[in-house]
Amino acid sequence: MNEDNELFKPEYYLNREASLLEFNLRVLAQAEIESIPLLERLNYLCISSSNLDEFYEVRVASVLQMAKMDPDSVSIDGLKPAEQLSLISRKANVLVENQYRILNEVLLPALETENIRFIRRRDWTDSQRSWLQQYFYEALMPILTPVGLDSAHPFPRILNKSLTFIISLTGKDAFGRNSGRAILQAPRALPRIIQLPEDLTDCGPHDFVFLSSIIHEFVDELFTGMTVKGCYQFRVTRNSDLFVDDEAIDDLLDALEGKLAMRNYGDEVRLEIDANCPEDTTEFLRSLFAMNKERVFRVNGPVNLNRLQAIYSLIDRPDLKFQPFKPSIPSILAKNKNIFDAIKKQDILLHHPFESFTPVIEFVRQAAVDPNVLAIKQTLYRTGTDSAIVAALVKAAREGKEVTVVIELRARFDEQANIDLAERLQDAAVHVVYGVVGYKTHAKMCLVLRKEGKKLRNYIHLGTGNYHSKTARLYTDYGLFSCNKELGEDVRKIFVQLTSLGKVTRLNKLLQSPFTLHKGLIEKIEREAKNAKLGKPARIIIKVNAIVEDQTIQALYRASQAGVEIKLIVRGICCLKPEIPGVSEKIEVRSIIGRFLEHTRVYVFENDGNPEIYCASADLMNRNMFSRVETCFPIENPKLRERIMYDLDCYLKDDSQAWILQNDGSYQQMQPKGEKPFQAQMVLLSEMTR
């Protein structure tokens, strides 16, 4: 950041970590909205818990490392690492308190009214207790390994995020030992929620017991001749961000495989412990893990709320879930069995999940068996298990086609899946490369080279989201099919960059990180500012997942000062601060939280009445601009541009699922102006699906 810039003032920016916690508060707020189906509300609670886990594993771990390495460094908003950790603690405690309040006071009572019960130990009937005791003897006891703490049994290494118990004991064991404490880790293979059989006396169709409750009740069976004075659950979260020195390795795959084994034993970053745990035991654990009190959470319920997500699939209650829908397929694709014939007629835009992901799969499937297709090139970041696209790529290679796949092995928390994927593809004789040293390949693109008569034609798919059929039903994303000659040539050149050591060549239409995307966006923002000063039409609409990169923020501030109307739709982190007098008064920032995770990245520039619209794989973050390979592609077909503008207008009209960013970094949910709320996602769902 340029400290001479007049817009370089810490008070002009919001803290990144606090902004991410604000996002999780918005997600959690969905759990209290009564109009949302009950099991979906439970899911929102679980998602907020899972997000908080990752936040500590990655973001807090990063701040802790910075506190050790450079304690005087400052964040974009002027906070030193220690100050950031205090801010995180305050906000995270609010989030956690709300999570357990909502669980205990809102969701569990509401579930019970629907005959979905989580039965506490004190409420077990004799028949339930007898069945659970038998379950303990047969399913749990044989695989539980309590560890008494003494000089021969030091405190064991605790797996990242594992359910663990610390047990207070009196008396002596068979060898006369009396350490007073033992540790018991619940194996990850064990389900955390046990469903009681419906035919059991006093049981309903959906009665559940937490694994932790069963262990609490029968833990004394593991310590014959001793007395259990207390049993308390706890969970340790560890640094899970993998660091691989790109310049010091010969084989990225081998290096990653070595690192993955250590992920479960990184530095401790958070301790969650039963609220009933005595202070001396809590202090013992805190001291053992060298845990600052700011990162210790006393919880009133299961230490891992995300495990409650298993309930969703265990209960067949459609009335308590979102109504299923059937994504539509554009008519041009429905009418043309050959997808290449359809693409040849016009560019085709898909808006997932409202429109089906099936055409994307079909694109690769048809390419795999089409005798006119000579080569397929594709990037893969996250694909999911049993991917139909991967199966098609394997088939294509076995059919004798040239298949090249660029796999990003360092897609966080998908590293092992991508390593397995790379090996599967290599076994099928696919050319597999891992991208560029030092840069994650985050671009979403597929190229099919097809011989048509005496000519070769490139068919491409470019997207804002991953080639993952499951998330395509949960995330909103755009995908573009085209056989535009210049676009196809651009995609071909990028694949050459990724697979060879050649120099960067000039692209025709695409903007690309880390070369032209950042500069290109800044130039387009500055053009809007110039037009505004000249009295010409000027407007910017940006829809992304995050805005962090400071030079872009400053360019938006300057555009606002010039009079440009700026609408930002930012799902998660936003470091830009609206409503700064004389700086950002023309900027509105909103976040849409609904049934689907907003994931589209769209950039709209008015351009003096000739709007330019781009879709991208990149958010406005430093990593996307400078340390990843990203693509940003223009939407040039007039009808497709109108569609995207209509979608954006819906998001800007949303008066129910929209949250408006305030100057202090908090968000205020919009309230419907009329009797019927306008929800962008629901409008698009009703208009585009069946």
- Alpha-carbon gap, residue 168 to 146, rounded angstroms: 12
Chosen domain end from 263, 285, 320: 320
Summarize the confidence of residues 340-346 as an average pLDDT: 97
Q: Bridge partners of 433?
A: 406
Residue 44: φ, ψ to 5°: -60, -40
The answer to whether residue 152 scores a pLDDT higher than 70 is no
Catalytic residue among 206, 442, 461, 468: 442
pLDDT digits (tens, 9 = 90+) for 597-607: 999 999 999 99
The CA-atom distances, in angstroms, between 28 and each of 25, 119, 272, 584, 659 are: 5, 24, 19, 29, 13
pLDDT value at residue 246: 47
- Alpha-carbon gap, residue 669 to 672, rounded angstroms: 10
- State the DSSP H helix or E strand holding residue 533, giving kind and residue range, or none if neither: helix 517-533
- Alpha-carbon gap, residue 341 to 339, rounded angstroms: 5
Summarize the confidence of residues 380-399 as an average pLDDT: 91
% of the chain beyond a pLDDT of 70: 93
pLDDT digits (tens, 9 = 90+) for 483-528: 999 999 999 999 999 988 677 779 999 999 999 999 999 999 999 9
pLDDT value at residue 468: 92
Q: Bridge partners of 457?
A: 450
In a domain, 618, yes or no: yes
Whether residues 539 and 403 fall in one domain: no
Chosen domain end from 508, 534, 552: 508
pLDDT digits (tens, 9 = 90+) for 458-472: 999 999 999 999 999
Confidence category of residue 254, pLDDT binned at 50, 70, 90: low
- Alpha-carbon gap, residue 89 to 95, rounded angstroms: 10
Whether residues 462 and 493 fall in one domain: yes
Whether residues 84 and 116 fall in one domain: yes
In a domain, 575, yes or no: yes
Whether residues 435 and 542 fall in one domain: no
pLDDT digits (tens, 9 = 90+) for 404-425: 999 887 666 667 777 888 888 9
**Residue 431 bears catalytic tag:** no
Which amino acid, 588? Answer: E
Chosen domain end from 285, 320, 355: 320
pLDDT digits (tens, 9 = 90+) for 84-127: 999 999 999 999 999 999 999 999 999 999 999 999 999 999 99
Whether residues 346 and 308 fall in one domain: no
Summarize the confidence of residues 452-456 as an average pLDDT: 94
Whether residues 464 and 542 fall in one domain: no
Whether residues 535 and 441 fall in one domain: no
pLDDT value at residue 565: 98
Whether residues 444 and 535 fall in one domain: no
Of 314, 624, 327, 633, the closest CA to residue 464 belongs to 633
pLDDT value at residue 198: 87
Query: What is the count of structural domains for the chain?
Result: 3
102-141 in b/e form (b: 16+ CB < 10 A) is bbeeebbeebeeeebbbbeeeebeeebeebbeebbeeebe
Interhelix angle 517-533/550-561, nearest 10 degrees: 10
The answer to whether residue 308 scores a pLDDT higher than 90 is yes
pLDDT value at residue 173: 67
pLDDT value at residue 421: 86
In a domain, 38, yes or no: yes
Cβ atoms of residues 401 and 372 within 8 Å: no
pLDDT digits (tens, 9 = 90+) for 173-219: 666 666 689 999 998 888 999 999 988 878 889 999 999 999 999 99
% of the chain beyond a pLDDT of 90: 81
Confidence category of residue 690, pLDDT binned at 50, 70, 90: low
Cα-Cα end-to-end distance for the chain = 49
Confidence category of residue 250, pLDDT binned at 50, 70, 90: very low
Whether residues 535 and 487 fall in one domain: no
pLDDT digits (tens, 9 = 90+) for 309-327: 999 999 999 999 999 999 9
pLDDT digits (tens, 9 = 90+) for 36-63: 999 999 999 999 999 999 999 999 999 9
**Beta strands 431-433 and 164-170, pairing class:** unpaired
The answer to whether residue 247 scores a pLDDT higher than 50 is no
Q: Ramachandran region of residue 52, left (φ > 0), alpha (ψ -120 to 50) or beta?
A: alpha
Question: Under DSSP, is residue 86 helix (H, G, I), strand (E, B) or coil?
Answer: helix
Q: CATH code at 644? A: 3.30.870.10
In a domain, 325, yes or no: no
What is the CA angle 158-20-104, rounded to 5? 65
Whether residues 267 and 298 fall in one domain: yes
pLDDT digits (tens, 9 = 90+) for 541-554: 999 999 999 999 99
- Arithmetic mean of pLDDT over the chain: 92
Token pair belonging to 680: 């962008």
- Alpha-carbon gap, residue 101 to 48, rounded angstroms: 14
Summarize the confidence of residues 564-580 as an average pLDDT: 97
- The residue segments making up the domain with residue 279 are 10-320
In a domain, 1, yes or no: no
CB atoms within 10 A of CB 650: 18
Whether residues 201 and 285 fall in one domain: yes
Confidence category of residue 384, pLDDT binned at 50, 70, 90: confident
Q: Taking the CA of residue 192 as centre, how many other CA atoms within 13 Å lie in the half-sphere pointing to its CB?
A: 18
Of 521, 448, 519, the closest CA to residue 487 belongs to 448
Confidence category of residue 256, pLDDT binned at 50, 70, 90: very low
pLDDT value at residue 244: 46
The answer to whether residue 35 scores a pLDDT higher than 50 is yes
Chain-centroid distance of CA 303 in Å reads: 21
Cβ atoms of residues 104 and 31 within 8 Å: no
Token pair belonging to 198: 């419906």
pLDDT value at residue 245: 46
Whether residues 170 and 293 fall in one domain: yes
The answer to whether residue 257 scores a pLDDT higher than 70 is no
pTM for the model: 0.93
Q: CATH code at 217? A: 3.30.1840.10
**Beta strands 440-441 and 455-463, pairing class:** unpaired
Work out the burial of residue 68: count CB atoms within 10 Å of its CB; fewer than 13 is exposed, 13-18 middle, 19 or more buried.
Answer: exposed
Summarize the confidence of residues 576-600 as an average pLDDT: 97
